[in-house]
Amino acid sequence: MRFGYFDDARREYVITTPRTPLPWINYLGCEDFFTLLSNTAGGYCFYRDARLRRLTRYRYNNCPLDSEGFRVYIKDGDTVWNPGWQPVQTELDSYSCRHGLGYTVIEGEKDGVGARQELFVPKGELCLLIRLTVSNNCPVKRKLQVFPYLEFCLWDAMDDSSNFQRNLSIGEVEVKDPAIYHKTEYRERRDHYAVFWANRPFDGFDTSREAFIGTYGSPARPQAVFGGGCTGSITHGWQPIAAEQFDLTLGPGDSESIIFGLGYIENPGDEKWESTGVINKKKALAMMARFAADDAFDAALEELRQYWEELLSGYQLYSGAQKLDRMVNVWNQYQCMVTFNMSRSASYFESGMGRGMGFRDSCQDLLGFVHLIPDRARERILDIAATQFPDGSAYHQYQPLTKKGNTAMGSGFNDDPLWLIAGADAYLRETGDWSILDEPVPFDNDPALAKPLLEHLLRSFRYTSSHLGPHGLPLIGRADWNDCLNLNCFSEHPGESFQITGPSEGPVAESVFIAGMFVKYGRALADICRHRGMDVSYMMDAVAAMEASVLDAGWDGDWFRRAFDAAGHVVGGKECREGQIFIEPQGMCVMAGIGKETGQAAAALESVKERLDTPFGIVLLDPPYSRYYLELGEIGSYPPGYKENAAVFCHNNPWIVCAEAELGHGDRAFEVYRRFAPAYIEDISEIHRTEPYVYSQMIAGKDAPDFGEAKNSWLTGTTAWSFVAISQAILGIKPTLDGLLIAPCIPASVKSYSVKRRFRGAVYVITVENPLGVQHGVRELYVNGAAHEPGVIPVQKAGSTVSIRVIMG
């Protein structure tokens, strides 16, 4: 069942009922000011950091779901309704929500009155704009009242949701028509406040939640709206809110719009006050003035549209396959931007308080983002590298506001260092900007310890090669990519974090997955160093030795093993009762080319197909763990079929796509892609439940009672890897250090397609023809009409348009 449809021409997903299986959200803002917004106008805002600078409140785990947001109440006689249905839930005569690229439009109609809420964060601004347009579609005059409402958060979301003994006494606001200023803690150490304004004077306001909603009231039945209107309350402590009232009289066919804004303002320490206790509103007033008129609102929205048009023009596919084109051209790239911005911090499944930027997560996000805005990717790589320790290991997370490593979490995740190579390598291949390697970057955020980025990459390599276990495989540390395989943890007490319990190192537990990474990214680093004229023989020796160890101790007969635990027992082998085969090493080792010549790679992928395939994607392992095993950690804490315990953990499905493509299996590569790509499963939204326009982290596996149900949408490494899988592995447009390589690996049934791809300043218009119906192999290649040897096309002149014709066979 569907709950909406893709409007490809407008690059929107149009939701046609407010009763989606879960709130279906969008992200507004792509620089410093962000808003999460659901299809019923639920959500919240923050400046840069969802934990440390939260502007509006949101209660996770609330009942009813999605209660807080940017709601507008419309009062028409005795009827009260919201254009997005929530929170009053008055039945609407019509409803739609259009989630577009960085903006959302929600429209509702009730008894001949239409209301449209357009929301976006203008480029370069620290505010959310909301335009409400109310229309009278009836032949008679209508008197209406409208009330926008939101609840402020006292800045630190964690503290806000726990430290009530203090927080219920500190809330402060200031009101100056038509704006409400939230200035809690501004009187002491903060130099920032939030402001909610309208572009016309209001007819009433409230800043106390108790006054507007009622002590025992609810947002579904605010006392002020259902009663006599706003009360003019000024809150002292308790819960500061912004509610405003506007009385409208609309003649037949009339419509009126009001522009609201929620802004974030910072003032220098010596310019905080206008007079004693009165905040300096200069910047806020200037912001309000910039968006006072409809044409300014329209122009800013148009600028945002242009921005996305330009960004997406860097990779456009024309395949004739509607679902594929919409994934590649719009939604996958859009989600890559969101994961780049958020890492795993704030979604409807990530509270914004738990995790900041993840080291491995952000490195992988770069893989799908680097072609969009290479300069921001560059900056990110340097930020991440600055959280590396001098020995090459790394902080596992850092806060976006401070860019400092998170000491509570610390280090010890032994895959982390190698992901830095992956990110830097992707950047170099995309841009050819070798200067990044010479950029001085601190270790442990200490500028005194700065060394060129290249040295960071070398230390990543060295960290792995110098931390090997008894089988010559890398030590796993706290965990590798699979956060739940905690082989040195041995946690016996409820509530202990699997991430930080136990020693961060153990001398025995080894990871075959990290070994695969070492081969793949070790080679990539060697290529980079070779380019710089360095001697890489020691690297290639270490890589060769690792490959041999994988094929020896890491090979189980029909697939790659997963690990050795702290007692030296195999994890992910036939001798195991549960967890006999894991997906991760099959994907990573085959992507690294291990066993490609000698047959193990093909056998491993065959085993994946036999043992792990399901109609909803490939599960992470099989058979699932039926109980908690002390020696394995968090993985067995999940019921069978969920999360790392045998869900379809989408992130590593594209690894299998890439691995299949590595072996030239185009039919199978696409089949794997198709099963978990959101646009292809739109029709089963009632089972899948999360947004059909973005990837989710997991889909309940075959062993779960609700097989096929997804969770954790939006913030997942699936996004970047899926874009790599489709754009590079399948469609075959691969940036290399020396130029663009076109090496498609497609279903035999695909006859042709073309791709427009920006690369190092030139535009490549690539057409691929497949007259013989093969799955891979390039027979002829033409560059601007001239025959060219199949292989890498050298970098073309910036500013030029290059036409490439590829004939497979």
Length of the chain: 809
Minimum Å distance from CB 633 to ligand NOJ? 11
Q: Which residues contact 723 (CB under 8 A, 6 or more apart)?
A: 328, 332, 333, 336, 367, 368
The torsion defined by the Cα of 514, 518, 520 and 521, in degrees rounded to 10, comes to 110
Distance CA 198, CA 33 (A): 19
Q: Indicate which of ligand NOJ, ligand BGC, none lies near residue 481 (CB less than 5 to 8 Å, by partner kind).
A: ligand NOJ
657: Cα within 13 Å, side-chain hemisphere:
30
Taking residues 45 to 84 in sequence order and writing x for each that binds ligand NOJ by CB under 6 A, - otherwise, the string is ----------------------------------------
Amino acid at 555: W
Whichever of 455 and 483 has its CB closer to ligand BGC, that residue is 483
Start-to-end Cα distance in the chain: 40
The C-alpha atoms of residue 707 and residue 464 are separated, in whole angstroms, by: 38
584 binds ligand NOJ per the rule CB under 6 A: no
* Cβ neighbours around 598 below 10 Å, total: 11
Question: Binding-site residue total for ligand NOJ (CB under 6 A)?
Answer: 9
CB 333, min distance to ligand BGC, A: 24
Q: Does 653 bind ligand NOJ (CB under 6 A)?
A: no
Nearer to ligand BGC, 97 or 715 (CB): 715
Cβ proximity to ligand BGC: between 244 and 365 the closer is: 365
Residue position matching structure tokens 């979301």: 157
Structure-block tokens of residue 70: 């940017």
Among 44, 395, 481, 521, binds ligand NOJ (CB under 6 A): 481
Q: Does 640 bind ligand NOJ (CB under 6 A)?
A: no
Q: Which of 156, 206, 483, 565 is catalytic?
A: 483
Site for ligand NOJ in 328-387 (CB under 6 A): 344, 358, 360-361
Calpha distance 433→513 (Å, rounded): 30
Of ligand NOJ, ligand BGC, none, which one sits near residue 75, judging by CB under 5 to 8 A according to partner kind?
none
Is the Cβ of residue 30 or residue 647 nearer to ligand NOJ in the bound state? 647
Which of ligand NOJ, ligand BGC, none does 142 bind, CB closer than 5 to 8 A by kind? none
* Side-by-side strand order, sheet with 315-318: 315-318, 752-759, 762-769, 801-808, 778-783, 786-788
CB of 248 to ligand BGC, least distance (A): 49
Beta bridge partners of 581: 622
DSSP secondary structure letters along 757-808:
EEETTEEEEEEEE-TT--SB-EEEEEETTEEE-SSEEEPPPTT-EEEEEEEE
Q: Whole-angstrom Cα distance, residue 688 to residue 3?
A: 12
| 174 contacts 220 by C-beta, under 8 angstroms | no
Give CA–CA dist 761/758, Å, rounded: 6
Q: How far apart are CA 462 and CA 522, in angstroms?
A: 10
Site string for ligand NOJ, 265-294 (x = CB under 6 A): ------------------------------
Q: Smallest distance, Å, CB 654 to ligand BGC?
A: 17
Of the pair 350, 547, the CB lying nearest ligand NOJ is at 350
Q: Which is nearer to ligand NOJ, 224 or 650 (CB)?
A: 650
**Could you say which of 239, 329, 388, 482 contacts ligand NOJ (CB under 6 A)?**
482
Q: Does 644 bind ligand NOJ (CB under 6 A)?
A: yes
| CB nearer to ligand NOJ: pick between 358 and 640 | 358
d(CA 390, CA 711) in angstroms, rounded, equals 37
Which CB sits closer to ligand BGC, 51 or 643? Answer: 643
- Please state at what angle helix 374-385 crosses helix 416-431, rounded to 10 degrees: 150
β-partners of residue 477 are 413
Nearer to ligand NOJ, 55 or 650 (CB): 650
Question: Of 71, 63, 6, which Cα lies nearest the Cα of 38?
Answer: 71
Which residue has the closest beta carbon to ligand NOJ?
Answer: 483
| DSSP state letter for 571 | E
In 10 A of CB 322, how many CB atoms?
A: 11
Give least dist CB 409 to ligand BGC, A: 8
Residue 341 binding result from ligand BGC, ligand NOJ, none, given CB thresholds of 5 to 8 Å by partner type: none
In sequence order, what are the beta bridge partners of 71?
149
Residues with Cβ within 8 Å of residue 280, at least 6 apart in sequence: 267, 271, 272, 273, 274
Q: Which does 499 bind (CB under 5 to 8 A by kind): ligand BGC, ligand NOJ, none?
A: ligand BGC
Q: Considering the rule CB under 6 A, would residue 483 count as an interface residue with ligand NOJ?
A: yes
**CB of 44 vs ligand BGC, minimal distance in Å:** 22
**Binding residues for ligand BGC, per CB under 6 A?**
483-484, 499, 634, 643-644
Look up residue 592 and give its two tokens.
């690294």
Of the ranges 211-219, 372-380, 404-412, 477-485, which one interacts with ligand NOJ (CB under 6 A)? 477-485
Shorter beta-carbon distance to ligand BGC: residue 269 or 494 = 494
Question: Helix or strand or coil: residue 362?
Answer: helix
Query: Could you tell me the smallest distance in angstroms from the CB atom of residue 396 to ligand NOJ?
Result: 9
CA distances from 762 to 114, 425, 427, 767 (A): 47, 20, 17, 16
* Residue 361, contacted partner among ligand BGC, ligand NOJ, none, CB below 5-8 A by kind: ligand NOJ
- Least distance in Å: CB of 332 to ligand BGC? 21
Q: How far is the CB of 17 from ligand BGC (least distance, A)?
A: 31
What is the rounded (10 degree) CA torsion for 603, 607, 608, 610?
140
- Which among ligand NOJ, ligand BGC, none contacts residue 315 (Cβ within 5 to 8 A by kind)? none
Measured torsion, CA atoms of residues 280, 285, 286, 287, in degrees rounded to the nearest 10 = 110
Q: CB under 8 Å to 658, separation ≥6 — which residues?
A: 587, 591, 669, 721, 724, 725, 728, 729
Q: What minimum distance in Å lies between the beta carbon of 358 and ligand BGC?
A: 8
Residue 652 touches which of ligand NOJ, ligand BGC, none (CB < 5 to 8 A by kind)? none
Which range, of 203-211, 294-302, 439-447, 481-489, touches ligand NOJ by CB under 6 A? 481-489
Q: Is 203 a catalytic residue?
A: no
Query: Choosing among ligand NOJ, ligand BGC, none, which partner's interface includes residue 482 (Cβ < 5 to 8 Å by kind)?
Result: ligand NOJ
Q: How deeply is 164 buried, as exposed, middle or buried, from its count of CB atoms within 10 A (0-12, 13-18, 19+)?
A: exposed
Min dist. Cβ of residue 634 to ligand BGC (A): 6
- Are the C-beta atoms of residues 235 and 152 closer than 8 Å to each other? no
Question: Of 196 and 638, which has the nearer Cβ to ligand NOJ?
Answer: 638
Q: Of 311 and 620, which CB lies nearer to ligand BGC in the complex structure?
A: 620
For ligand NOJ, which is the closer residue by CB, 184 or 343?
Answer: 343
Distance between CA atoms of 262 and 57, rounded to whole angstroms?
13
Q: Where on the chain is the footprint of ligand NOJ (CB under 6 A)?
A: 344, 358, 360-361, 481-484, 644
Please give the positions annotated as active site.
483
